[in-house]
């Protein structure tokens, strides 16, 4: 198998895994949450309009991260372009994560109706975003370090 | 008999304490790193992204295709570079 085909296959594999984990699985989860509210007595506060907004952001940012993961994975090892696309991909992933907060997916108002007793409580997962963003920030430092190495002291691949 | 049981208990506890003594600094250090770097960094990034994302075209606007155009550009660029320059080159 020549290098071109290897690069393309690696890229398509990365893009496919990205599409499955970042678009299809969240889409399935949010759609199933919406369907379950009609069956269950537990109302999670996700209306159809809210889920449509969340799905729009997931598909929009997920498609960008998937195409960037293709470009990153299709680049040869230790190359400058891989480091550059890695940094852009980290930013895109940060945006992808942020749209969960922005679209209101992390605010959950649970209304319980258990026959005689009713109640409402609110769950807010926004603080989890801070920790994930911090991890993304640390990844950004590693990405910048890779870029500096590839630019200033390029590593020769073993032939 | 009781002395033997107590002796065994002491041995087990001392073994557990040795393990805790080794693990505890690692746990405390990682918690410290999370509190000192990860959380402030996360809050900083969140504030920047919050300012940027509010300007992005939302589902109501007629500019939804921009996201797919950007994704297409990156995909086309990736395919072009993977086919045209499959080997590692300086600056590419």
- State how far residue B24 is from chain A, nearest Cα, in angstroms: 22
pLDDT digits (tens, 9 = 90+) for A67-77: 999 999 999 88
Q: What is the 3-state secondary structure (H, E, C) of A52-114?
A: HHHHHHHHHHHHHHHHHHHHHHCCCCCCHHHHHHHHHHHHHHHHHHHHHHHCCCCEEEEEEEE
- For an interface test with B, give the residue of A1, A60, A72 to mutate (most B CBs within 10 A): A60
pLDDT at A14: 94
pLDDT at A63: 93
A115 Rama sector, left if φ>0, alpha if ψ -120 to 50, beta otherwise: left
Instruction: Name which of A4, A132, A136 is nearest B86 (Cβ-Cβ).
Output: A4
CA B35 to chain centre: 14
Residue A20 has pLDDT above 60, yes or no: yes
Q: How far is CA A151 from CA A57, A91, A146, in A?
A: 35, 20, 8
A94 has a chain B CB within 8 A of its CB: yes
Q: Which residues of A1-31 are buried (b: 16+ CB within 10 A; e: fewer)?
A: eeeeeebbebbbebbeebbeebbeebbeebe
Give bridge partners of residue A113 from the DSSP assignment: A118
- What integer is the mean pLDDT of A35-39? 59
Residue A158 has pLDDT above 70, yes or no: no
Tell me what ipTM this predicted complex has.
0.80
A104 Rama sector, left if φ>0, alpha if ψ -120 to 50, beta otherwise: left
Question: How confident is residue A11, by pLDDT bands cut at 50, 70 and 90?
Answer: very high
pLDDT at A23: 92
Chain B residues within 8 A of A3 when measuring between CB atoms: 86-87
pLDDT at B20: 87
pLDDT at A97: 86
pLDDT digits (tens, 9 = 90+) for A99-154: 877 777 777 777 777 777 777 777 777 777 777 888 888 888 888 988 888 877 76
In chain B, the N- to C-terminal Cα span, in Å, equals: 76
Chain B residues within 8 A of A60 when measuring between CB atoms: 64, 67-68
pLDDT at A39: 57
CB-based contacts of B59, cutoff 8 Å, min separation 6: A52, A53, A56, A57
């Amino acid at each position: 198998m020549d290098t071109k085909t290897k690069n393309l296959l690696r890229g398509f594999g990365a893009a496919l895994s990205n599409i499955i984990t970042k678009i299809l699985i969240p889409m399935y989860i949010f759609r199933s949450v919406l369907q379950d509210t009609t069956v269950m007595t537990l109302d999670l506060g996700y209306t159809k309009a809210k889920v449509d907004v969340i799905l729009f952001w997931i598909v929009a940012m997920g498609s960008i991260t998937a195409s960037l993961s293709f470009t990153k994975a299709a680049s040869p090892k230790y190359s400058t372009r891989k480091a550059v696309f890695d940094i852009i991909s980290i930013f895109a992933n940060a945006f992808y994560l942020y749209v969960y907060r922005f679209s209101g997916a992390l605010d959950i108002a649970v209304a319980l109706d258990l026959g005689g007793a009713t109640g409402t409580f609110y769950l807010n997962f926004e603080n989890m975003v801070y920790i994930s963003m911090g991890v993304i920030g640390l990844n950004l430092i590693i990405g910048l370090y890779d870029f500096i190495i590839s630019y200033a002291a390029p590593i020769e691949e073993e032939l | 008999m009781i002395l033997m049981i107590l002796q065994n208990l002491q041995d087990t506890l001392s073994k557990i304490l040795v393990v805790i003594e080794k693990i505890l600094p690692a746990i405390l250090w990682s918690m410290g790193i999370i509190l000192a770097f990860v959380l402030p960094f996360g809050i900083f990034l969140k504030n920047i992204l919050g300012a940027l994302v509010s300007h992005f075209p939302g589902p109501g606007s007629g500019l939804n295709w921009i996201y797919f155009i950007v994704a297409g550009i990156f995909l086309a660029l990736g395919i072009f570079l993977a086919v045209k320059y499959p080997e590692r080159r300086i600056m590419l």
